[in-house]
Amino acid sequence: MSPIEDKVVIVTGAGGGIGSATARLLAGRGAKVVLADRRLEAAGQVAERIERAGGTAVAMPADVTSRSEVISLVAAAADRFGRLDVMVSNAGVGPVSYLDELKVDEWDLMVEVNLRGVLNGIAAALPVFRAQDSGQFVNVASTAAYTTTPTMAVYSAVKTAVRAVSEGLRKEAGPKLRVSVVSPGFVATEFVQTVSDPEVRERLLKQRDAMALSPDAIARAIAFAIEQPPEVDVNEIVIRPTAQA
């Protein structure tokens, strides 16, 4: 029996990329997966793929920037399956740019999705985990939380904040709750397509095509953190392409 079997797992941003790969892998190991995404159709297609393969999955709409929507998501998942074991906060955006370009709306978007989305996940799931006396948060950060390069200042800042919040949560969580941070490097997803500066986007596309990891590699790291025994808390995993500096 897989240690993941029968666990109820919410994955945000599950309509594609890392979220889709994670949902499919966990479902393949026996988890009951709730795929949350603003793009319900995309999440629904992934859920249908899982169901056709014999897994258990349901797609639910959720904008992680809305606390009420994330609370409703967690409540619906717990009501459907009777509990919630893992909250994977994966939804994220990365419209990176030089600060001189003053793309303040894009800065705000990264703060809202990448940081507030994680906070909303904590606010929604923590009371459920406390009531159960068990549960695990898996928050997806980035290698940008460890180093900052030109165009990445705001993105690095919010991902650093995700690490800080997660560490604070871990220290407050007590012996029954687990908190894991998974920090990917360059991954072959739609991330680069959100970059509005054509020059920056083209540079990142070339880097992606030269060395990016498959989302499946990040899914395996997330699964590793989840499949450990209850007394083992994998606090942090950093995973990047071998070729990435």
Two tokens at 199?
């020059």
The DSSP string of the chain is --TTTT-EEEEESTTSHHHHHHHHHHHHTT-EEEEEES-HHHHHHHHHHHHHTT-EEEEEE--TT-HHHHHHHHHHHHHHHS---EEEE---------GGG--HHHHHHHIIIIIIHHHHHHHHHHHHHHHHT-EEEEEE--GGGT---TT-HHHHHHHHHHHHHHHHHHHHH-TTEEEEEEEE-SBSSGGGGG---HHHHHHHHHHHHHHPBPHHHHHHHHHHHHHS-TT----EEEE--TT--
Q: Dihedral of the CA atoms 19, 218, 131, 44 (nearest 10)? A: 20
Catalytic pick among 155, 177, 181, 223: 155
Structure tokens at 69: 């929507």
Structure tokens, 231: 């007394």
Q: Is 146 a catalytic residue?
A: no
How far apart CA 90 and CA 93 sit, in angstroms, is 10
Instruction: Give the CA radius of gyration of the chain.
Output: 17
For the annotated catalytic residues, the residue numbers are 155
